[in-house]
Structure 1
């Protein structure tokens, strides 16, 4: 048996061997605790028939644990300096494919179709670079990938926003978007001490399980998200004020806006953070005819 990558000693040795220095701009924090990695993998519920998509493998600590339990791992790495390291650390595993690409620019659907042929169970499992957590998760959900769900490590503060309920200060358009596509739960809190270098904040692992169909039915998905984002533009403002200033021609169409709020049964004096996803779906459908495609 070869030693796990995710120990402080082995991680240091690998980094020294390659003279690797961390790039702050890429949000590189490597996990040095094998137990935590195994827990993350457990939460993904993978089997020898599963495929895993990973983003930002670093030196392969999580990749290795995924390779042990799944049929195939496909990993997106943006930092060219890590490619030779990964080739070395992951050499014992023949079921790993590293793709040198920015996942935000990649056609992930195409990659999945190519790499996971004959595999019907696919999960995204990753220790996400903190500075692009939200765009990555939203891309994976909006592009309708053939995945069962997502298990990712991210900043605890972002995890709190993702699983927030209406009426809390963490609740916002991100909470609604995630809830629309998935069921979200925070499964683990991770102290900053298990990373090298240590980040300034604690982390959390969230599990997002994709819904069979979105939680609410809306006339137009893109417009629904436009309305939710507009409603939180300035948290202290009422929903009426936010929509007036944020929607196209909102100022000219004050009457139509009030009428739509009225039809949706929503008091214009409420704040966006008090509205449930069902209320947002009613509201965006009522606004649709007057404000869509301006």
Structure 2
């Protein structure tokens, strides 16, 4: 087996050889602990039948572990300076392809159709740059890609928000949006000491398993998310207060909002973070007739 990239000595040698300097704007923090990389791959349940998508491979530390376990790895890398490094570090693996593109601008479905022709089991596994974690996850879910799930390392605090349950301080519109599409669980925490350079915060690995169909049904998905966003606009305010202030013409329609809350069996004095995803589905269906034209 090839020597691991992700040891402090090997990482330092690669960076020095290429004179690589970290760009803060790209959120670059490279892992230097092979055991954690192995555990990330284990949590993704990858087999020799799996196609893996990686985002931000860096110098290939996680990529090589994915290459050893997967049928094929396709990695999106935005930083051109890393392309020659990846070409060298991943040269022992013929099942890896690097795409020099910003994943947020990429047509990921088209890439999957082209690169994974004979693969039906696809996982996204990545050590995500902290500053774009949420947009990347939401893009992958909203585009309803044919993936089994997502296992990513991100800021511990964001992982806690994603997996939070109603009634907790971390629960918010992000929790609901991601749990609408997936079941979410934090599978391990990762100290900041295993990265170079060291980030300011600890990290966590979260596993998102895609649901066969969304967690709840409602009449209008876009309006459902509009209601959720409005309900969390000011966390300390009641749901009635937030909806009245945030929905179009909400102040004029306050009586209708009260009626909709009653019909959905939700106390107007509750706060947004106490409502379950099922309650939000009921509420958005009750509000929809009164707001459809303005939504």
Shorter-chain TM range is over 0.9
Task: State the SS of the aligned residue for 1:146.
Answer: coil
**Alignment map for 1:152-171 (pairs within 5 Å):** 152-171=152-171
| Aligned-pair Cα RMSD in Å | 0.8
- Per-residue CA shift, 1:33-86, capped at 9, x if unaligned? 000000000110111111000000000000010000100001011111111111
Mark the runs of 5 or more structure 2 residues left unpaired by the alignment. none
**Counterpart check, 1:18 vs 2:18:** yes
Take 1:179 and 1:53, find their aligned partners in 2: how far apart are those partners?
A: 21
Between 1:28-37 and 1:109-118, the stretch displaced more is: 109-118
- Count of matched residue pairs: 294
Shift of 1:22: 0.5
- The equivalent of 1:245 in structure 2 is 245
TM-superposed CA distance for 1:92, in Å, is 0.9
Cα deviation for residue 2 of structure 1 reads 2.5
In structure 2, the residue matched to 1:82 is: 82
Partner residue, 1:107? 107
Secondary structure in structure 2 of the residue aligned to 1:3: coil
Q: Which moved more, 1:272-281 or 1:215-224?
A: 215-224
Query: 1:92 & 1:147 partners in 2: Cα distance?
Result: 27
Provide the C-alpha distance between the structure 1 equivalents of 2:175 and 2:121, rounded to a whole number of angstroms. 26
Instruction: Report the equivalent of 1:233.
Output: 233
Give, in angstroms, the shift of residue 252 of structure 1.
2.1
What's the TM-score once normalised by structure 2's chain length? 0.98
Q: 1:170-181 counterparts in 2 under 5 A?
A: 170-181=170-181
TM-score, with structure 1 as normaliser: 0.98
Q: How does 1:26-41 map to 2 (within 5 A)?
A: 26-41=26-41
3-state SS of paired residue (2:189) = strand
1:215 aligns with 2:215: yes
Q: 1:96 to 1:252 in 2, by over 3 A?
A: same
Runs of 4+ residues over 4 Å off in structure 1: none
Instruction: Report the Cα distance in structure 1 between the residues aligned to 2:114 and 2:243, rounded to whole angstroms.
Output: 43
Residues 136-215 of structure 1 correspond to what in structure 2 (within 5 A)?
Answer: 136-215=136-215
Q: Which residue of 2 aligns with 1:55?
A: 55
- What displacement does 1:262 show? 1.3
